Amino acid sequence: MEKGLVSIDRWVKGSQAYFLTHLHADHTRGLSPLWTLGPLFCSPITARLLPSRFPGLDSSLIRVLEIGLTHSITLISKCSGSEVHILVTPIDANHCPGAVMYLFRGEFGTVLHTGDFRWELDSERAQLARRNLLDALGGERVDLLYLDNTYCHPFFSFPTREVAAQQVVDFIKQHPNDEIIIAVDNLGKENLLVYISQALGVKIWVWPERLKTMHILGLDDIFTTDTSLTRVRAVPRYSFTLDTLEGLNTICPTIGIMPSGLTWGSLAFEKDIGYVGLSESEGHSGEKSKNNRKRSTNGNIKLAGDQIKPPWKFQEYSYSFPYSDHACFSEIQELMRTVLPKNVFGIVSASSFDIHPCHHFDNLNCELCTVSGSEISTKVRGNHLDASFRNKLNRRAVLHQNLNRSNVKCGRHLQPSASKTNRNEGCTEKG
DNA sequence: GCGATCAGAT
DNA sequence: CACATCTGATCGC
């Protein structure tokens, strides 16, 4: 596609149409309530959430695209001055509420931008997304795939969110006398909270802004801002620190739950970074015991591959569960097989795992793209990357070893500096 | 004083 | 590390 026509999650001058995949902050950098640069295309749910994120945003610029339908857009080529017809099909990305992928078709070829996505094909929702995608493709391959490569490495293996949610529920049930806090962002992981609420028959505390978001999403009776009503609270991830947990534990026993795909991989396991089997975990006693710390290194069960069982105790009071809103490697693999991209470009370039996606998909006959800014500038074959690939893998291994050591030292590296106070007391305090 | 941008933090 | 987010400093208007 020629330059100057469309931007996806990119909010700078120079395009005629702007597409938003979802409302996470790292995809809206540059977008502000003063936005005037062009029409903003998004899904219906994103459109409903937009005013709360960007109060005063000119609503006449918002173009709502129904998911699964193909929409026709006409733009003007800056090169030739002639009309450019673009077909765009938003596909449910199964990431956070409102998140979509965009499939673009036109004379330029077929381009799929996944935004951030999950691809759990045993869920009906993802099956429908896959059908919509295949229908829109009509048997064609994707020429250029912009891929959510967050977990694009065989290293990353974790279960579906439903399985992970059940693991969280089982864990909470095993700790009936503890307060529970769960780290979440401003958007996403709602289904985990709903699942917990329904399984345990409790409401979930959220901070006031988050409650507004829940109401916009139509989740009316499950959440509360009254801490006296429940022992389960969702708190902003940035307030989820060792300091916060220690502080809370001086008042009453409190366990932190970190839902994330980040730490769930087979390499981490080989390096023995301290997974704790579910049956091995024990009731939280509230004591800052060296025993507990020992448990995360000495008491873990060594399992292999998909036998890994959460939770992983990564801090004195905190456990990680493999609940991820990003696709694991096998799901990325499935998407690649579905669209058979001729060229691939990873959209998460800041990741330490920025090995090019094609490295893992030699058999797909796809080109390796590197980028300069937002423009695709060169295309080279992938095999020469072996050295850097190994380096990055080694770096990751060292990283996880360090992580392990830090855990033994009670997460020293995660402690905020002594001068810092808890920035979000209001979100975590009792009463 | 406000918005944009960046560094630094978890 | 950094899934995404927040705070605080700085700069230009």
CA A208 to C1' C9, whole Å = 28
Q: Which nucleotide is nearest to A151 (CA to C1')?
A: C3
Give, as one character, the DSSP assignment of residue A410.
T
**Across residues A6-34, what is the average pLDDT?**
91
For tokens 């978001």, name the residue.
A213
Q: Which nucleotide is nearest to A11 (CA to C1')?
A: B4
Q: Which nucleotide is nearest to A417 (CA to C1')?
A: B9
CA A32 to C1' B3, whole Å = 10
Higher pLDDT: A332 or A300? It is: A332
What does the mean pLDDT of chain A come to? 76
Query: Residue A378 carries which side chain, given as an amino acid letter?
Result: T
**Across residues A2-26, what is the average pLDDT?**
90
Weakest mean pLDDT among A11-25, A281-295, A340-354:
A281-295
Report pLDDT for A151: 86
Higher pLDDT: A52 or A402? It is: A52
Report pLDDT for A12: 87
**Across residues A39-51, what is the average pLDDT?**
95
For A223-254, the pLDDT digits (tens) are: 999 999 999 999 999 889 888 899 899 999 99
Q: Is residue A105 pLDDT above 60, yes or no?
A: yes
Q: Which nucleotide is nearest to A236 (CA to C1')?
A: C5
Cα distance between residue A158 and residue A102, in whole Å: 26
**Across residues A397-423, what is the average pLDDT?**
30
Going by DSSP bridges, is the β-strand pair A223-224/A312-313 parallel, antiparallel, or unpaired?
unpaired
- Would you say the C-beta of A241 is within 7 Å of strand B? yes
Cα distance between residue A64 and residue A43, in whole Å: 6
Cα distance between residue A319 and residue A292, in whole Å: 12
Do the Cβ atoms of A302 and A266 come closer than 8 Å?
no
Q: Is residue A369 pLDDT above 70, yes or no?
A: no
Report pLDDT for A265: 63
CA angle A415, A418, A421 (to 5 degrees): 90
CA A187 to C1' C7, whole Å = 20
Question: Residue A320's beta-bridge partner residues?
Answer: A258, A312
Q: Is residue A328 pLDDT above 50, yes or no?
A: yes
Other Cβ atoms closer than 10 A to A12: 11
What are the percentages of helix, strand and coil residues in chain A, rounded to 5?
35, 20, 45
Show which positions of strand B are touched by protein (CB under 7 A).
Answer: 3-5, 9-10
Coil/strand/helix, residue A319? strand
Q: In order of start, what are the domains of chain A with their CATH numbers? A: 6-154+327-427 (3.60.15.10), 161-321 (3.40.50.12650)
Q: Which nucleotide is nearest to A420 (CA to C1')?
A: B9
Which are the contacts of A214, defined by CB distance < 8 A and separation ≥ 6? Answer: A190, A206, A220, A222, A223
DSSP-H helix ranges across A230-349: 242-251, 266-270, 290-297, 329-339
Give, as one character, the DSSP assignment of residue A223.
E
Report pLDDT for A367: 55
For CA atoms A215, A217, A218, A220, the dihedral sign is negative
For A161-175, the pLDDT digits (tens) are: 999 999 999 999 999
- Would you say the C-beta of A58 is within 7 Å of strand B? no
Buried b / exposed e over A288-321, threshold 16 CB at 10 Å, is eeeebbebbbebbeeeeeeebbbbbbbbbbbbbb
Report pLDDT for A364: 61
The candidate with the shortest Cα–Cα distance to A42, out of A130, A119, A115, is A115
Residues 328-357/A with CB within 7 Å of nucleic chain B are none
Cα distance between residue A322 and residue A97, in whole Å: 19
Long-range contacts, A378-386 (Cβ 8 Å, 24+): A379/A343, A382/A356, A382/A358, A385/A355, A385/A356, A385/A359
Coil/strand/helix, residue A224? strand
Cα distance between residue A97 and residue A53, in whole Å: 14
Which are the contacts of A251, defined by CB distance < 8 A and separation ≥ 6? Answer: A430
Res. A405 pLDDT band, cuts 50 70 90: very low
Report pLDDT for A392: 40
Show which positions of strand C are touched by protein (CB under 7 A).
Answer: 1-7
Report pLDDT for A262: 80
Report pLDDT for A315: 85
Query: Residue A389 carries which side chain, given as an amino acid letter?
Result: F
Q: Which nucleotide is nearest to A241 (CA to C1')?
A: B10
CA A209 to C1' B7, whole Å = 27
Cα distance between residue A186 and residue A98, in whole Å: 13
CA A34 to C1' B1, whole Å = 17
**Across residues A182-209, what is the average pLDDT?**
96
Q: Is residue A417 pLDDT above 50, yes or no?
A: no
Beta strand spans in A185-325 (E):
204-205, 223-224, 232-236, 254-259, 312-313, 318-321
Q: Is residue A306 pLDDT above 50, yes or no?
A: no
The candidate with the shortest Cα–Cα distance to A242, out of A314, A336, A341, A323, is A314
Weakest mean pLDDT among A25-39, A159-173, A340-354:
A340-354
- Would you say the C-beta of A423 is within 7 Å of strand B? no
Query: Residue A195 carries which side chain, given as an amino acid letter?
Result: Y
Do the Cβ atoms of A95 and A115 come closer than 8 Å?
yes
Cα distance between residue A396 and residue A380, in whole Å: 25
CA A78 to C1' B1, whole Å = 39
> Of A94-98, A280-284, A291-295, which has the strongest mean pLDDT?
A94-98
Q: Which nucleotide is nearest to A350 (CA to C1')?
A: C2
For tokens 């080279």, name the residue.
A380
Query: Using a 7 Å CB cut-off, which residues contact strand C?
Result: A 24-26, 95, 116, 150, 185-188, 236-238, 260-262, 324-326, 348, 350-353, 395, 399, 403, 413, 423
Question: Percent of chain A having pLDDT more than 90?
Answer: 53
